[in-house]
Structure 1
Amino acid sequence: MLTSTSTGRQDAPTAPGRIPGLGHTRALLRDPVGFIGSLSPVGGVVRIHLGTRRVCVVTDPALVHALLVTCADGCPAQDTLKTAFAPARMAAYVPVVQKVTRERVDRWQRGQVLDVAEEMNRLALEIVARALFDTRLRDEGFAAFHRALPDLVKGRIVRLLYPRPSLARLSLPVNRRFDAAVRALGEVVDRTVSGPLLHSAAETMSATLTRLFDELLRQRDVMSRIVAELESQLGSDEHDLTMGAIEHLPYTRSVVQEVVRLHTPDEFLLTTAGQDVGLGPYRIPAGTELLYNRTALHRAPALYPDPQRFRPDRWKDMSIGGGFAGAELAVVVATVLRTWQPITVSGGPWGRIRL
């Protein structure tokens, strides 16, 4: 919860284009990233209407940071994640990520055709299960996750943005598919603390890994530069990937960071002000729902010139953050490309590769 004072501040402006009865719901559901990105010129915090709900969208990066820091204070889930992703634990995860990836890669055969999304889904789920929870999932668990993932992601976003929470209980197609996805995953993963965390981490990892290899397949020069860097820095030893080794792969890390920036899965954070608060120059009344979208933030022209272009070299002189996701992606791409340089299947559907 936010707990600051709001004395002497102004009310957040209202977004244009409000439709009677619907508010801004249609625009938000039709194009979440585009709509939220369009709010930045209106203000650092902008009020939108989702039916009868009034939500303040935080568009200013500095205010998003303030919101996240405040929300993290005293949150048990945040404390759990901080412990899981502490530097000492991170160093221990890297060998696990490499081992799981190597096991997967060793199953591939020369000339084999693979579906990138399916392979990355399986790899991400196995990495998260083994690294964070020291457990293995059976083949039926991988299959259930792969089938359920699209409905799980879409359903969660739509439910978050419903004008009224009661709509989540209606027998709408999106609700039925979401409920079925949750039931399917519940059959193969414990319904304890690890269950939701496993789903969330694996969803993000699988989607980002898929987009990473999509970019490498589209831009062979990027893949070639990574391979050259791997050969130069790591040589022929396949078992020397450590956090220290990853630090000596600046171009690989830049590619990973650019994928995370440009292709991060749609993610909404929604919290409620417990009392009247101040966020920058804005007055936020008690009970106000506050929302931000990470994808829109990552495509803000003020932060990233020419934001729609995939440009790894933009990170050459910028700080690259760490974290489990960045380390995992770097280890996976290094492990795969030291053995295989896949190509797109000619004349086939996008996302199919040949080894």
Structure 2
Amino acid sequence: MAQKKVSRQPEFVLPPPPLPSRLPLLGHSLALVRRRQDFFVDARAAGPVVTVHPGSRTLYLVNDLELARRILTTDASKYTRGELFERVRPYVGDSLPFVDGRPHRKQRRMIRPSLHRTAVAGYVDTMSGVANRRLGRWQDGDHVVVGEQFRNLAMEVVGSALFSFDFSESLLRDWHTITPWVPKGLFLRITAPYAWVERLPLPVNRRFVEATKWVRELCDRITDEHTGDATDLVSLLLDTVDPDTGEPVSKEQISTEVLGMLIAGTETIGSALSWCCMLLASHPDVQQRVRAEVDQVLAGRPCTAADLSALTYTRHVVTETLRLYPPLFFLTRTAREDVELGGFRIPAGSSLLLSPYALQRAPEYFPQPEKFAPDRWTQGGELSANPDAFLPFGAGLHRCLGEQLAMAEGVVILSTLLSRWELCPVNDETPRSRGVLLTPEPGRVVLRSRDVRFDSHRADSVLEERR
């Protein structure tokens, strides 16, 4: 008689344990809203994977670095981008930062040439020119709101380099007033205890819809008014044939890609530079080292692409700032199929959370994690750094394509800034973040003129000669 075959159950049958302190009806929503990034840091003590309940919803928070990297890299095909990206796509369209699968691979191939290292080197003169003009308007003793100033600066750089578009001061003011409702609305959609909350006639919901509509109209205008040469992103896309249709890429799709690059290229580096200024103002020893390097390498002239490799400590300062304050303090993914994480079963369709902020402040990966220590990125430094745990640009298939642009922009702007100004802290001010972004608000520093002043006339003449 044939022996009956017994089917074996998979070893991972239990869901991850729940995170403690769940409130009736609200679940963990209140803690998420009130504590934001600190919520994720404290949750690491509960285990490698835990269940989080914003109201009636179920999310799985992944606290372990190895599991997080597996989700982002080796097992990336088992997951979609998740709620953070899916909730905003109906409003901003299918641009590169928000799509998955074949569309993502196709759009990545189309856009990559405009963000390649060689192309980025060609943007450095534009970065220097924009930084020189805007930073030259500041005055000794000014209390500078860094978030607003560096978002404006980043917008001008992206507009000039990638779109051949000049943002007027009125447009920059409107951007600063209108667009903060986008991350605020997104954060509500992720943390709300019930999905119907986003349909309520709340000011944050109304302004979120208005803000995304305004941004779409702005990007349509950038595309329609484009008159740039063949070196920018819009020109590249205008000359590109869609491999699926054999037709030129549509104006609508180009406008959508402009929107994705505008949001990603403005908010990420704008946030990083804002925190960089706050940190340098409160760490005068680090600021002095950057200044000494800038004076030695640039000697009063504008930064060039050839200077970037010599400004190593300046780059480490930008990198350390991104470790402490990654622009997105959490990422999302959705499981396409049943998966196993840390011995626990995650059903298909489940939403997962990963926090670069929490992982980048874990002492096992970064000793003395709360310390601002740019030297940890120097080989042989007193404090070590685990590059695998450095995730401000993501990892794997969806690693940010604009990483080279962002880092170059950070080094160019920071070196130009410290050629001109000393940064001093504003007392009794604790900046806070907004929405899903870690941008300091209000985030102010006081400017003091340097004894060795940046030669602005020389910088203008040098940049004009390069053109």
Q: TM-score range by the shorter chain?
A: 0.7 to 0.9
Q: Which residue of 1 aligns with 2:42?
A: 38
More divergent stretch after superposition (187-196 vs 97-106): 187-196
The amino acid that maps onto 1:163 is P
Query: What per-residue deviation string (whole Å, max 9, x for no partner) do you get for residues 106-150 of structure 1?
Result: 444556664333321210111222233332222222011111243
Aligned residues: 348
The alignment status of 1:306 with 2:368, answered yes or no, reads yes
Q: Which residue of 1 aligns with 2:203?
A: 173
The amino acid that maps onto 1:21 is L
Query: What per-residue deviation string (whole Å, max 9, x for no partner) do you get for residues 204-237 of structure 1?
Result: 2222211111222222222211111122233343
Q: Which residue of 2 aligns with 1:98?
A: 128
Q: Which residue of 2 aligns with 1:219?
A: 283
What pairs with 1:1-355 in structure 2 (closer than 5 Å)? 7-9=10-12, 11-69=15-73, 70=76, 71=79, 74=101, 76-77=103-104, 80=107, 83=112, 84-109=114-139, 114-190=144-220, 192-239=256-303, 241-242=304-305, 244-317=306-379, 318=385, 323-343=404-424, 351-354=444-447, 355=449
- State the alpha-carbon separation in 1 of the partners of residues 104 and 321 from structure 2: 26
The amino acid that maps onto 1:286 is A
* Paired residues of 2:277 and 2:423 also in contact (CA < 8 A): no
Shift of residue 313, structure 1, vs aligned partner = 2.0
> Helix, strand or coil: the match of 2:46?
coil
More divergent stretch after superposition (75-84 vs 34-43): 75-84
More divergent stretch after superposition (211-220 vs 99-108): 99-108
More divergent stretch after superposition (137-146 vs 19-28): 19-28
The amino acid that maps onto 1:340 is W
Shift of residue 185, structure 1, vs aligned partner = 3.3
Q: TM-score, normalised by structure 2?
A: 0.67
Larger Rg: 2
* Paired residues of 2:144 and 2:445 also in contact (CA < 8 A): yes
> Helix, strand or coil: the match of 2:11?
coil
The amino acid that maps onto 2:173 is A
Shift of residue 288, structure 1, vs aligned partner = 0.7
More divergent stretch after superposition (281-290 vs 185-194): 185-194
Query: What per-residue deviation string (whole Å, max 9, x for no partner) do you get for residues 27-51 of structure 1?
Result: 2222122222222232222111122
Shift of residue 56, structure 1, vs aligned partner = 0.8
The amino acid that maps onto 2:363 is P
- State the alpha-carbon separation in 1 of the partners of residues 124 and 428 from structure 2: 37
* Paired residues of 1:121 and 1:206 also in contact (CA < 8 A): yes
* Paired residues of 1:157 and 1:268 also in contact (CA < 8 A): no
Shift of residue 255, structure 1, vs aligned partner = 1.0
* Paired residues of 2:366 and 2:386 also in contact (CA < 8 A): no
Query: What per-residue deviation string (whole Å, max 9, x for no partner) do you get for residues 146-197 of structure 1?
Result: 1124332222112122233321110123223323433443443336232143
* Paired residues of 2:124 and 2:409 also in contact (CA < 8 A): yes
Shift of residue 334, structure 1, vs aligned partner = 0.8
Shift of the 36–114 alpha-carbon distance from structure 1 to 2, 3 Å rule, reads closer
* Paired residues of 1:209 and 1:329 also in contact (CA < 8 A): yes
- State the alpha-carbon separation in 2 of the partners of residues 111 and 16 from structure 1: 48
Tell me, which stretches of 5 or more residues in structure 2 are unaligned? 1-8, 82-99, 221-254, 380-384, 391-402, 430-441, 450-467
Tell me, which stretches of 5 or more residues in structure 1 are unaligned? 1-5
* Paired residues of 2:331 and 2:354 also in contact (CA < 8 A): yes
Shift of the 237–130 alpha-carbon distance from structure 1 to 2, 3 Å rule, reads same
Query: What per-residue deviation string (whole Å, max 9, x for no partner) do you get for residues 59-95 of structure 1?
Result: 1122222222205873534664571543333333333
Shift of the 285–232 alpha-carbon distance from structure 1 to 2, 3 Å rule, reads same
> Helix, strand or coil: the match of 1:46?
strand
* Paired residues of 2:282 and 2:424 also in contact (CA < 8 A): no
Query: What per-residue deviation string (whole Å, max 9, x for no partner) do you get for residues 263-284 of structure 1?
Result: 2234332222121123353322
Q: TM-score, normalised by structure 1?
A: 0.86
Shift of the 267–149 alpha-carbon distance from structure 1 to 2, 3 Å rule, reads farther
* Paired residues of 1:159 and 1:165 also in contact (CA < 8 A): yes
Shift of residue 286, structure 1, vs aligned partner = 0.9
> Helix, strand or coil: the match of 2:180?
helix
Q: Which residue of 2 aligns with 1:3?
A: none
Shift of the 116–274 alpha-carbon distance from structure 1 to 2, 3 Å rule, reads closer
